[in-house]
A and B are shown apart, each in its own frame.
Chain A
C-alpha cells in the first residue's frame, strides 16, 4: 500500500454521480475490485472507493454524493490536491470462464475497469431511475434495466458472475449463482486492517472486509 498526494485532473457528471479523475503518479491501479482510501476534504476520515477506470497516467473513481465526505470529493476541481492510499484489499479473481458482470446503482463503480481487464465480457446493470441509468454509459455494451425491473432478472445461466451492488442485489445474486464473486461494502475508517470497523460475517465469524474482501465468493 502506498499513499500519495495527487492532483485532480478533472471531474464529470454521470447522472447523479461524479467521475473524479486524478493523476496516477506512483500509485498502481491494482486488480479490479481493489479499492483506495480517498481523503475527503474537510473531514476526519478518508472514504473507500473502488477504481472505476484506469486511463493512462490517471485513476478515476465514480462517486455518489450521499454524505458530507462524498459531497466534498465530488466538489473537487481540476488542480486541487487529494491524498489517496491504495490499492487495498482483494480484488476479483480474473481467471474465470465465461464471465458476466452484474452491477446495481453506484455498485457499477468497479465494473468498467474490470470489463476492460477481462476484454469486455457481457454485462447487465440495474438502476433505480433513468437519471441513475446514465451511468450505464460507462459500460457501453451492457444491457441496462431500470426499476421496477431488477437486474437479477437479466442474468442468463451458464456464466461465472462477478457482481457489485447494494446488499439485497448481492444476496439475490448469491441465490442464483453460488460460485459468484461478490464485491461488498462496509463503513471503513482506515481500509488497511487497523480499525476493525468494517466487520462482516464470513464463515460464521465477524471478519474485516478490508482484509478478507471486499470481493468474496458467494459460497
Chain B
C-alpha cells in the first residue's frame, strides 16, 4: 500500500491527492483542539526540511462530528493518527474511534518531536490503546532512541499490529544573519532526504527484531527510494515531505515502482520484500 505520512496532506483540501493513495492518514488528532505552535513553523535545510507545527488539529470532538463525515465521502480508506500527553489520552481517543466503521486503522503517534513527550513508554500507550479498540493499531516510532528494536518489540508485545517507521528527528536551523533559531519554537522535526538512511536503518532493524508489518517512510521521493524501503522490510510505503513539492508523487512513485519490478522480471515490487536481509546474510557468510 501507498499512504501519506501523517500531517503531510489534508484530504479535504486536496481530495484528488488523497484518492491517489491506498489509504489516507489524518493529521494527528488530540483530545482537545490545538492551534499548534506560533509561526515560523517550517524551514528548508540543505537536504531536508524542519517543521514545528505542534499538532495543530480540531480535537477529537470536532474531528468526529465535522471532519470524519466529510472524509467518508471521499471514499478512501482512512487511518486516524492519534496523539496525547498521557496513556489515558490514547486509550480514550481509540475508544472514541472504535465504533466508526469509516476508520480502517489507528496510528499511535507516540513520537512527535514538537510537543512535550508523553511520560509513559510506548508499550504502556499501546497496551492501553489495545484494550480500547479492535481496530488495527500501528505504533509510529521515533528513530531517536538508543535501540529502536527494543521499542518495536515492546510495542509488539503490548498488542500493536504494525509499526510506522519513522517519525521526524529533532533538528535546529539558525538564521545566517542573526544566528537565532529560524523556527519560533526553536527546534523542529527533520524530514526529507536527510532522514532516509536513518529511516531505512530503523525499518531494517525492526524487521529483523519483530517481522511485524511496517509502513516505511522518511525521504521517499522516487520509486527506487520506495523499493529500498520494501527491501529493508517495509510492506507499505508512505510519502511525506515529497508531497509538498509534488502532489502527483503517489502516482509517479507507483509507476516507477512497477517499472522497476518489471525490469527485474518480478510480478510485483513486493517481491523485493526483505531482500536487503538476504544480502546482509550472504555478505556475512562470505
Which residue of chain A has its CB nearest to the CB of B42?
A197
A103 at the interface (CB under 8 A from B): no
- In contact, B8 and A195 (Cβ under 8 angstroms): yes
- In contact, B35 and A187 (Cβ under 8 angstroms): no
**B residues 1-42 with Cβ under 8 Å of A?**
7-10, 13-14, 17, 27, 35-36, 38-42
Instruction: Return the contact of A3 from the options B9, B49, B56, B248 (Cβ within 8 A).
Output: B248
**B residues 122-154 with Cβ under 8 Å of A?**
none
B51 at the interface (CB under 8 A from A): yes
Q: A187-B42, A187-B43 are known contacts. Are A196 and B14 too (CB-CB below 8 A)? A: no
B118 at the interface (CB under 8 A from A): no
Contact code string A179-205 (vs B, CB < 8 Å = 1, else 0): 000000011111011111111100001
Contacts of B17 in A (CB 8 A): 194
How far, in Å, is B191 (CB) from chain A's closest CB?
Answer: 10
- In contact, B36 and A3 (Cβ under 8 angstroms): no
How many residues does chain B have at the interface if contact means C-beta atoms less than 8 Å apart? Answer: 32
B174 at the interface (CB under 8 A from A): no
Q: Would you call the interface of chain B mostly helix, strand, loop, or mixed?
A: loop
Q: Would you call the interface of chain A mostly helix, strand, loop, or mixed?
A: loop
How far, in Å, is B41 (CB) from chain A's closest CB?
Answer: 5
Instruction: Return the contact of A192 from the options B14, B27, B49 (Cβ within 8 A).
Output: B14
Listed in ascending order, the chain B residues whose CB lies under 8 Å from chain A are: 7-10, 13-14, 17, 27, 35-36, 38-44, 47-49, 51, 53, 56, 192-193, 241, 243-248
Instruction: Return the contact of B14 from the options A186, A194, A205 (Cβ within 8 A).
Output: A194
Instruction: Return the contact of B243 from the options A190, A196, A200, A211 (Cβ within 8 A).
Output: A190
How many residues does chain A have at the interface if contact means C-beta atoms less than 8 Å apart? Answer: 27
- In contact, A44 and B245 (Cβ under 8 angstroms): yes
- In contact, A196 and B9 (Cβ under 8 angstroms): no
A46 at the interface (CB under 8 A from B): yes
Q: A3-B246, A45-B44, A187-B40 are known contacts. Are A197 and B53 too (CB-CB below 8 A)? A: yes
- In contact, B246 and A43 (Cβ under 8 angstroms): no
Instruction: Return the contact of B42 from the options A3, A193, A195, A211 (Cβ within 8 A).
Output: A195
- In contact, B44 and A69 (Cβ under 8 angstroms): yes
A206 at the interface (CB under 8 A from B): yes
Q: A44-B241, A45-B49, A205-B35 are known contacts. Are A194 and B44 too (CB-CB below 8 A)? A: no
Which residue of chain B has its CB nearest to the CB of A200?
B39
- In contact, A44 and B193 (Cβ under 8 angstroms): yes
Which residue of chain B has its CB nearest to the CB of A205?
B35
- In contact, B246 and A196 (Cβ under 8 angstroms): no
